[in-house]
A and B are shown apart, each in its own frame.
Chain A
Amino acid sequence: NAGVTQTPKFQVLKTGQSMTLQCAQDMNHNSMYWYRQDPGMGLRLIYYSASEGTTDKGEVPNGYNVSRLNKREFSLRLESAAPSQTSVYFCASMGVDQPQHFGDGTRLSIL
């Protein structure tokens, strides 16, 4: 089973460029999440989607947008990348009364 798949695994951008991080899950989960992980800090929630067709802001949403394309897919977009957005981005999905399942992350560097 693939679980949660994130693409790309690595990306380098220049300040001001845009890009979309992709996430897909094959576990038929309703809820999906985007986190960023920075050294010395816990995973911080950027956006989440409790079900298909809904999205909500998390702790650090500024500079990001999301799209819940369908039940399987949840994308994260950086419209104008800034060096402060250099981080490792994780997507997670969760079913009812289950723990979150994570992808292996996208390592993003913004120069």
Chain B
Amino acid sequence: EDQVTQSPEALRLQEGESSSLNCSYTVSGLRGLFWYRQDPGKGPEFLFTLYSAGEEKEKERLKATLTKKESFLHITAPKPEDSATYLCAGHSYGQNFVFGPGTRLSVLP
């Protein structure tokens, strides 16, 4: 059975304190690994898609990486506006998306 887990459940950082969020997946025949950002009271907003091990993508202070079993979302010098819940999801061929429970990130000024 396809499964996606995320750690930590919650993370508090000081502004400028870099860290990483983890997404572990057991998805047979991975078609893509997706990262989303979700603000309170809003729907998930797409950030990145990763397709193969070794791939990296960047956007502003965020960089997503992918191995055969995990994906990491690295946040460099975060700002308070980066506070949100970050979701990852695996998508396999012939199957639908499987979402992890998310990591709640708080960046304190």
Interface residue count for B (Cβ, 8 Å)? Answer: 20
Interface core residue of A33, A41, A90, A102 (most chain B CB under 10 Å):
A102
Instruction: Please encode chain A, from 72 to 111, with 1 for each CB lying within 8 Å of some chain B CB and 0 for all others.
Output: 0000000000000000001010000001111111000000
> A90 touching B96 by the CB < 8 A rule?
no
Report chain A residues within 8 Å CB of B45: 102
A101 to B101, CA, bound (A): 18
**Which residue of the partner chain A has the closest CB to B47?**
A99
> B44 touching A42 by the CB < 8 A rule?
no
A4 to B44, CA, bound (A): 12
A42 to chain B, nearest CB (A): 4
> A104 touching B43 by the CB < 8 A rule?
yes
A67 to chain B, nearest CB (A): 19
Q: How large is the interface on A (under 10, 10 to 19, 20 to 34, 35 or more residues)?
A: 20 to 34
B54, CB-defined interface residue at 8 Å? no
Instruction: Please encode chain A, from 19 to 42, with 1 for each CB lying within 8 Å of some chain B CB and 0 for all others.
Output: 000000000000001010000111
**Which residue of the partner chain A has the closest CB to B48?**
A99
Q: A-B contact count, CB below 8 Å? A: 47
Report chain B residues within 8 Å CB of A99: 34, 46, 49
Instruction: Please encode chain A, from 29 to 62, with 1 for each CB lying within 8 Å of some chain B CB and 0 for all others.
Output: 0000101000011111100100000000010000
> A42 touching B96 by the CB < 8 A rule?
no
Report chain B residues within 8 Å CB of A58: 96
Partner of B101, one of A40, A100, A103: A40
8 A-B pairs with CB atoms under 8 Å apart are: A4-B43, A40-B9, A42-B102, A90-B43, A99-B49, A100-B34, A102-B44, A105-B42
Q: List 10 other contacts, CB 8 Å, given A45-B97, A105-B43.
A: A42-B100, A42-B102, A43-B44, A44-B99, A99-B46, A100-B44, A102-B36, A104-B41, A104-B42, A105-B42
**Which chain A residues have a beta carbon within 8 Å of chain B's beta carbons?**
4, 33, 35, 40-45, 48, 58, 90, 92, 99-105
